[in-house]
Amino acid sequence: MPTSTDLLLTNAVVLTMDKKLTLYEPGAVAVTGDSILAVGPDEAMRREYTAKATLDCGGKVLMPGLINAHTHVPMTLLRGLADDLRLDVWLLGFMMPVEREFVSPEFVRLGTQLACAELIRTGVTCFADMYYFEEDIARTTAEVGLRAICGETVLKFPTPDAQSFEESLAASREFIIRWKNHPLIIPSVAPHAAYTCTEEILRACAALAVEFDVPLLTHIAETASEQENNRAAHDMPVVPYIKKQNIFEAKVLAAHCVHVDDGEIHTLLHHGVGVVHCPSSNLKLASGIAPVKPMLDEGLPVGIGTDGTASNNDLDMFEEIRLAAFLAKTASNDPTALPATQALTMATRMGADALHIGHLTGSLEAGKRADLILVDLSGLHNTPRFCRTREGVYAQLVYAGKSSDVTDVMVNGQWVMQSRELLTLNEAEIRSQAAVYARKIDAFLAEREQSVLSKLVAIGGAEEEESFEVQVKVRIADPAPVLAALEMPGIEVLRSRHYHEYDTYFSFDDPKQGHLRYREDEFIEPNGQVSGARYRLTHIGPARERRFESDVLLSRSRFIAPATHSLRFYREYFKPSGEASIKKDRLRWRVLFQGTEFFINLDHVEQPDWGYFIEVKSRTWSRRDAEHKAELATGLLELLGAPPEEAVAQDYVEIIER
Amino acid sequence: MPTSTDLLLTNAVVLTMDKKLTLYEPGAVAVTGDSILAVGPDEAMRREYTAKATLDCGGKVLMPGLINAHTHVPMTLLRGLADDLRLDVWLLGFMMPVEREFVSPEFVRLGTQLACAELIRTGVTCFADMYYFEEDIARTTAEVGLRAICGETVLKFPTPDAQSFEESLAASREFIIRWKNHPLIIPSVAPHAAYTCTEEILRACAALAVEFDVPLLTHIAETASEQENNRAAHDMPVVPYIKKQNIFEAKVLAAHCVHVDDGEIHTLLHHGVGVVHCPSSNLKLASGIAPVKPMLDEGLPVGIGTDGTASNNDLDMFEEIRLAAFLAKTASNDPTALPATQALTMATRMGADALHIGHLTGSLEAGKRADLILVDLSGLHNTPRFCRTREGVYAQLVYAGKSSDVTDVMVNGQWVMQSRELLTLNEAEIRSQAAVYARKIDAFLAEREQSVLSKLVAIGGAEEEESFEVQVKVRIADPAPVLAALEMPGIEVLRSRHYHEYDTYFSFDDPKQGHLRYREDEFIEPNGQVSGARYRLTHIGPARERRFESDVLLSRSRFIAPATHSLRFYREYFKPSGEASIKKDRLRWRVLFQGTEFFINLDHVEQPDWGYFIEVKSRTWSRRDAEHKAELATGLLELLGAPPEEAVAQDYVEIIER
């Protein structure tokens, strides 16, 4: 007696992408509810199953939907915003300012719709995403009907949806609880990267992922400088460093891994980490070529991702699969490396394994969810077709196939595209709404073209951002008590420096432009000799973020860059409306006070003749930490003999301008 | 008074791709006859021109057609024939045997039609081709209506359309004379590469190109081993080597240039050479990444090509342009390298310059031929569009655009595609004919799976092919006169060697399989000690190519490979039906006789006990040269005291089997 099924897909070249790469030509697939009931040869399947509905696939390829294992879907709205730029200029000059200004629940909903439309058109049924307002991304994705792993990005900086990492973490916890058992959405935890998180953040994220047994998404070793900086700061590469923060206790999905050595590959393997190769993004940002062949040879599950469209500039997995095969051949100097079957496996079954959802999707096997696509290989660019070997059809898909060959897409048993028509999205509506955003962003950036910061960025400045700083400054009559206090127990001096600082502040008619400081430091040796000089340019934002008791401040945004040009050059380039000079003699100490690191500056402002100031500073990345450090700073000032109640709220330049 | 024009294309984003990258938005282009009459802002153009026909471009991008600067169009019929293989296995095991069997005028006509259809669909209006039966390729291309530089490939091996290079050269001369003034076809001369031509061939090709002032197409420094081998053989890199053969006296278009150093780049620049970058092909065959940024920085015109589809596997220039930008960034570790404007210039104006036809095409400028395309950037994968900067639209085309966005294509003032419909080709017909070829080739290869040569290739053998050899062998009673003759003037001994040779010949039921020889050589020092051993496998084809007077032979095809396995392994693997062993003591001299190099073997065949043979051999690549050497060989034999009239026609194994 035949078994009944909801839907029988017949007369297809069925690539199951199972472990044996079983291929049925012609083959058929039976779908019941959200799942695959059976897969097999066409004739046998027709005999064994009676279906409520049958679809003749007309000889098309029927295969698992592609898995885009790393992306940031709402960034699709920023596609083509700025290209061919240095990473710092692109990120600090364009992406971050635009995200700060525009990213909202409405923005991410539209961006997710736009991305989902493109993903469906290119044969993707499942993706892994990390961005902001992830709740809205998840809801939109579920409405469209795609499968996704979603993680709210956690950073040490303020983000468009959180003032501090504690807020992001709290939101992540609620997000996980709400979505834990959804049929399409797998919630996750997404600390951005080692270099954008603190150890505390990494540990907290790992603990959260373990607590709820959800995946943890992060970026690992994307650039050579990330590795260099990590070694400089922590004396070890990125992988062992984050291992120390317990990251690998979670089910990790690691994007990029461009600069990992054999030892790190081994560590990733040992801890069951899934890796995502993002070839276009790595090439376009000049990050390098990931050692994919060595990773695969070791047995690591490596998926393929597009990354966000801001660095790609599309979500076309066909391109990424082909590039993955191409790059592995060139990187290993071996044209047999990463053959078509393996490349396609990475984008399907292995991608699902990397995402830790191999039990759900990634291949056409009885019991897995019905996530599948139809691909028409009859186009001219696929002509002719050689059938001599089983490998032929995989090679055709990988080396000649195009995303536009995808005609039908089903996720979880539901069609989301049929005969190239999207069933759950209104393309025209998305396009026109996206155009409205583009016009707004264009206008915002065009206006900003006048701004000091953008001009700084435009000449390659703004390497480093200092967002948050606890800072308090007090005018003192006599420096002697300070020097004496530093000899006392309670303050441990880690390092001291002495320099002359010559600051020139540019000011502008529009006070929102903030100030630009050209700073020349002469380093003074204990014997009074000048041992060197440093020239820096700092853009100081116009407003403080927040103010605490006793005028202990979280400072404004600061962009610092080496000043490679002369003061004259910057004066001509920025055309300031005002200029002020300050000369001071500074003694600077890095100290440990009650277990916390502070910088103490003892400034003798010689020109104008203002006398002495004592400044206490500490970096911070969280609100709670800032409050704690503000309290400590007050205690430290008292210990140094400076009355905190006489704190000066302004920067030196503001005192001058007063 | 308005000027009249045949056609006015209005309301477009006009990218002229001229030297200033002039952009009109909205803009218009006036076409009269085969040429561009004027380009300018939409409104002004409408005022200035009255047109017999007007086409509203609806805001699409209107730009010069793309130039595919290196391909082999008929190979489109071999797309996907064999992928993910070592270069030697791919070339010797698949491409060359299939080409020998199938390439005919009919094959190249169909292949050219298939390629032209794909080229038009991907926005290409002009391509540079080198293959066989180039006459038929040119005629087909002209019928379809595309512009092309066509060159008949010249090689030292026999080709599908020529038994020797003299034939190819003679055909090239006639081809050039016939097509010299055609409006669409630019005939050229196409010596395949330094390593597949002799010095004589290179010089002859250069002279022919100079005589008719036509371009010369060739491959230069595609792989590292090409450079290594050239240095080993000629003590210099490829570029100075071919310069010595006068190649650069012609207008050269050099494909690949992956492994060229700064000095070679300088030489190319000095001689006005155009270079073609083929990123997909170079990646897929693991050839490497060409130093495109250094070449561009030096001022070399570098175009972009797909290469043949057998190593790509498509003719999609959008992919190549994007890859060119991506690879330059990664190779130079600089994301600002090769920005979108420059990448698109390489595929248009600079490509035309590289092809030495910059005066005809490559940009939308008054007086140039009307080779242009319309590109629809309204697709989802191109959404949104930022208009803040002029660079935006170029970046959109390069990083997000797809070949399927091309809607209309005009060549030489004639439409070949409108609204995605091909006007000069029947796609369905091409597809069905191509399918017939694919079935035949599949059958041919499936049958050949049984063959000895293919099995040899399958295990990574067959590194080197010796096609043509002048060879004559005479049985002698006494070796003494030979040894004496070698002391006489007239023969200059360049080198001598002594070894014991143990040959095992496998034979097969089907005589067409030829023989497989497992050969073990023991090298003997003057003191009689064995100084080393060498193990080689040689496949000896079944039939001689040609026979001359006095049994001086052009030998059969030979594939030689190091034997890395044991005799037992090969016996089991090849399952020969017969086996024969020969042991001989061989004295071998490399000599100069009347200015020509010969090898002389004095063989003492010890087992079976056949006595002495004297063998005279010389390599050759042309019929005329072979006849000359055959005459010399006869004279040399006489000088050695061996009567040429007693020459033995067979190989040793054939004597055994007789």
The predicted-structure confidence for A27-86, as pLDDT tens digits, reads as follows 999 999 999 999 999 999 999 999 999 999 999 999 999 999 999 999 999 999 989 887
CB pairs under 8 A between A and B: 206
Pairing assessment for the beta strands A35-41 and B49-56 based on DSSP bridges:
unpaired
Say what the pLDDT of residue A460 is. Answer: 56
Triad A128, A358, A400: Cα angle to 5°:
70
Binned at pLDDT 50, 70 and 90, residue A555 comes out as low
- What does the alpha-carbon distance between residue A217 and residue A210 come to, in Å, rounded to a whole number? 13
Q: Do B83 and A339 touch (CB under 8 A)?
A: yes
Would residue B443 count as lying in a domain? no
A83 with A93, same domain: the answer is yes
Give residues with Cβ within 8 angstroms of B595, minimum separation 6: none
Per the CB < 8 Å rule, is B79 touching A384?
Answer: yes
Give the pLDDT band of residue B463 (cuts 50, 70, 90).
low
State the Rg of chain A over Cα.
29
> A432 to chain B: which residues are within 8 Å by CB?
none
Joined tokens for residue A159 = 């983000």
Does a cis peptide bond (omega within 30 degrees of 0) precede residue B312? no
Residue B424 lies in a domain: yes
Q: Which of A327, A395, A442 sits opposite B283 (nearest CB)?
A: A327
DSSP per position, A411-475: ETTEEEEETTEESS--HHHHHHHHHHHHHHHHHHHHHHTTSHHHHHHHTT---EEE--EEEEEEE
Same domain? B172 vs B254: yes
Q: Do A313 and B285 touch (CB under 8 A)?
A: no
Tokens of A187: 């919630």
Instruction: Check residue A466 and give its pLDDT.
Output: 55
Q: What φ, ψ does residue B261 adopt, rounded to 5°?
A: -95, 180
With an 8 Å Cβ cutoff, are B286 and A334 in contact?
yes
Burial B214-228, CB ≥16 within 10 A → b, else e: bbbbbbbbbbeebbe
Percent of chain B with pLDDT over 70: 94
Q: Do A399 and B337 touch (CB under 8 A)?
A: no
As a whole number of angstroms, the distance between CA A230 and CA A367 comes to 44
Q: What is the DSSP letter of A2?
A: P
Cis peptide before A26 (omega within 30 of 0): yes
Residues A164, A624: Cα–Cα separation, whole Å: 9
Shared domain for A546 and A651, answered yes or no, is yes
Among B86, B402, B431, the residue with its CB nearest the CB of A404 is B402
Residue type, B181: N
HEC secondary structure over B217-274: EEEECCCHHHHHHHHHHHCCCHHHHHHHCCHHHCEEEEEECCCCCHHHHHHHHHCCCE
Which residue has tokens 């080739």? B441
Whole-angstrom Cα distance, residue B45 to residue B333? 44
Interface with B, mutate which of A75, A76, A84 (most B CBs under 10 A): A84
Q: Does the beta-carbon distance from A80 to B399 stay under 8 Å?
A: yes
pLDDT in tens, A144-198: 999 999 999 999 888 889 988 999 999 999 999 999 999 999 999 999 999 999 9
H or E segment and range at residue A425:
none
Q: Which amino acid is at A506?
A: F
Query: Does position B327 have pLDDT exceeding 80, yes or no?
Result: yes
User: Token digits for A449?
Assistant: 């073209």
Q: What are phi and psi of A182, to 5 degrees?
A: -75, 145
Gap between the Cα atoms of B481 and B473, Å rounded:
16
What six digits make up the tokens of A110? 């539209």
Q: Is A329 in contact with B77 (Cβ distance < 8 A)?
A: no
pLDDT of res. A549:
47
The enclosing domain of B487 has a CATH number of 2.40.320.10
Q: Say which of A90, A283, A395 has its CB closest to residue B83.
A: A395
**Residue B467 pLDDT > 60:** no
Q: What is the pLDDT of residue A658?
A: 65
Give the nearest chain B residue to A438 (CA atoms).
B386
CA distance B49 to B554: 69
Chain B CB contacts of A80 below 8 Å: 384-386, 392, 395-396, 399-400
* pLDDT range class, residue A261, cuts 50, 70, 90: very high
Q: Chain A: nearest CA to B115, how far in angstroms? A: 9
**Whether B398 and B271 share a structural domain:** no
The CATH number covering residue A266 comes to 3.20.20.140
- Cβ-defined contact of A284 to B325 (cutoff 8 Å): yes
Do A129 and A54 share a structural domain? no
A550 close to A472: Cβ distance less than 8 angstroms: yes
Mean of pLDDT values over B181-204: 96
Please give the C-alpha separations between residue B279 and each of A15, B65, B73, in angstroms, as whole numbers: 29, 20, 17
Q: Positive or negative, the Cα torsion across B361, B367, B369, B375?
A: positive
Q: Inter-chain contact A114–B383, Cβ cutoff 8 Å?
A: yes
Residues of A in Cβ contact (< 8 Å) with B391? 83-84
Q: State whether A265 and A400 are in the same domain.
A: no
Asked if residue B124 lies in contact with residue B150, where contact means CB atoms within 8 angstroms, the answer is no
What is the number of structural domains in chain A? 3
* Domain shared by B525 and B645, yes or no: yes
Chain A interface, best mutation among B380, B427, B445, by max A CB count within 10 A:
B380
Chain B nearest-CA residue for A114: B380
Checking if the pLDDT of B264 tops 70, the result is yes
Rg, C-alpha atoms of chain B: 29
**Are B109 and B254 within one domain?**
yes
Say which residues have a Cβ less than 8 Å from residue A206's Cβ, sequence separation at least 6: A189, A216, A245, A246, A247, A248, A249, A250
- With a CB cutoff of 8 Å and minimum separation 6, the contacts of A81 are A94, A95, A98, A310, A441, B386
Please check whether residue A264 is in contact with residue A292, taking contact to mean a CB–CB distance below 8 angstroms: no
Considering only CB atoms, which chain A residues are within 8 Å of B336? 84-86
- Residue A116 to chain B, least CA–CA distance (Å): 10
Q: Could A335 and B117 be called an inter-chain contact, meaning their C-beta atoms sit closer than 8 Å?
A: no
Partners of A102 on chain B (C-beta within 8 Å) are none
Q: What is the pTM of this model?
A: 0.81
Domain of A57, CATH number, reads 2.30.40.10
Q: Label each residue of A304-368 as H, E or C.
A: ECCCCHHHCCCCCHHHHHHHHHHHHHHHCCCCCCCCHHHHHHHCCHHHHHHCCCCCCCCCCCCCC
Angle of the B165-179 helix axis to the B134-144 helix axis, nearest 10: 30
* Structure confidence at residue A602 as a pLDDT band (50, 70, 90): very high
Cβ distance B380 to A430 less than 8 Å, yes or no, reads yes
Residue A395 main-chain phi, psi, to 5 deg:
-65, -35
Between CA A101 and CA A91 the distance in angstroms is 14
Nearest CA in chain A to B399: A313
Whether the complex's predicted ipTM is more than 0.90 is answered with: no
| pLDDT > 50? residue A561 | yes
pLDDT (average), residues B11-26? 97
Q: Do A391 and B121 touch (CB under 8 A)?
A: no
Q: Which residue of A has its CA nearest to B334?
A: A286
Query: Are B475 and B612 a contacting pair, CB within 8 Å?
Result: yes
Regarding whether A491 and A375 lie in a shared domain, the answer is no
| 8 A C-beta contact, residue A260 and residue A268 | yes
Secondary structure class of A66 (helix, strand, coil): strand
Whether B134 is in a domain gets the answer: yes
Read off the amino acid at residue A432.
S
**Close Cβ partners of A20 (under 8 Å, ≥ 6 residues apart):** none
Interface probe for B, chosen from A323, A380, A382 (most Cβ of B below 10 Å), is A380
Start-to-end CA distance of chain A, whole Å, equals: 93
pLDDT of residue B435: 95
Alpha helices, DSSP H, located in B459-607: 480-485, 567-574
Domain identity same for A236 and A250:
yes
Over 90: is that where the pLDDT of A88 sits? no
Expressed as residue numbers, the domain containing A124 is 66-361+419-431
Tell me which chain B residues have a C-beta less than 8 angstroms from the C-beta of A120.
Answer: none
Q: What is the distance in angstroms between the Cα of B535 and the nearest Cα belonging to chain A?
A: 25
How many angstroms separate the CA of residue A509 from the nearest CA in chain B?
A: 25
User: Could you please report the per-residue DSSP string of A173-191?
Assistant: HHHHHHHTT-SSEEEEEEE
**Mean pLDDT score, A333-359:** 97
**Residue A240: is it exposed, middle or buried by C-beta count within 10 angstroms (0-12/13-18/19+)?**
middle
Q: A417 contacts in B (CB within 8 Å)?
A: none
B351 and B378, same domain (yes or no): no
The answer to whether the Cβ–Cβ distance between A313 and B395 falls below 8 Å is yes
Residue A330 is nearest to which of B288, B333, B438, comparing CB atoms? Answer: B288
DSSP for B131-189, please give it. ESSHHHHHHHHHHHT-EEEEEEEE-SS-BTTBSSHHHHHHHHHHHHHHHTT-SSEEEEE
Cα-Cα-Cα-Cα dihedral sign, residues A523, A529, A531, A535: positive
B439 domain residue, yes or no: no
On whether residue B41 sits in a domain, the answer given is yes
Residue B199, number of CB atoms within 10 A of its CB: 14
B265 backbone dihedrals φ, ψ, rounded to 5°: -60, -40
Question: Has residue A441 been placed in a domain?
Answer: no
Residue A451 vs residue A322, higher pLDDT: A322
| CA distances (Å), origin A51, targets A37, A373, A417, B450 | 11, 19, 21, 44
Residue B450 lies in a domain: no
Predicted confidence band at A531 (pLDDT cuts at 50, 70, 90)?
confident
Interface contact flag, A404 B404, Cβ < 8 Å:
yes
The amino acid present at A329, given as its one-letter code, is K
B120 interaction partners in chain A (CB closer than 8 Å): none
CA quadruple B532, B537, B541, B545: dihedral sign = negative
The pLDDT score that the predictor gives to residue B647 is 81
Please state, in angstroms and rounded to a whole number, the distance separating the CA atoms of residues A457 and B428.
54
Q: Is residue B516 part of a domain?
A: yes
Determine the 3-state secondary structure of A69 from DSSP.
Answer: strand
Give the pLDDT band (50/70/90) at residue B88: low
Query: Distance from CA of residue A26 to its chain's centroid?
Result: 43
Task: State how far the Cα of B295 lies from the Cα of B288, in Å rounded to an integer.
Answer: 15
B527 plus B623 within the same structural domain: yes
Q: Report the pLDDT value the prediction gives residue A388, as an integer from 0 to 100.
A: 84
Quick check: A396 and B283 CB within 8 A?
no
Residue B198 DSSP symbol: -
The angle that helices B105-121 and B134-144 make with each other, rounded to 10 degrees, is 40
Q: Compute the distance between CA of residue A17 and CA of residue A26 in angstroms, rounded to an integer.
A: 15
Backbone angles phi, psi at B381, to 5 degrees: -70, -5
Q: What is the mean pLDDT of residues A585-602?
A: 93
The minimum CA-CA distance between B552 and chain A, rounded to whole Å, is 41
State how far the alpha carbon of A146 is from the alpha carbons of A136, A362, A425, B359, in Å: 14, 14, 12, 52
Question: What pLDDT score was predicted for residue B247?
Answer: 98
Q: How far is A458 from chain B (nearest CA, A)?
A: 13
Interchain proximity B388–A445, CB inside 8 Å:
yes
User: Which of B326, B330, B395 lies nearest to residue A288, judging by beta carbons?
Assistant: B330
When comparing pLDDT for B651 and A78, which is higher? A78
Q: What is the pLDDT of residue A546?
A: 47
Do B384 and A80 lie within an 8 Å CB cutoff? yes
- Facing A336 at nearest CB: one of B84, B330, B340: B84
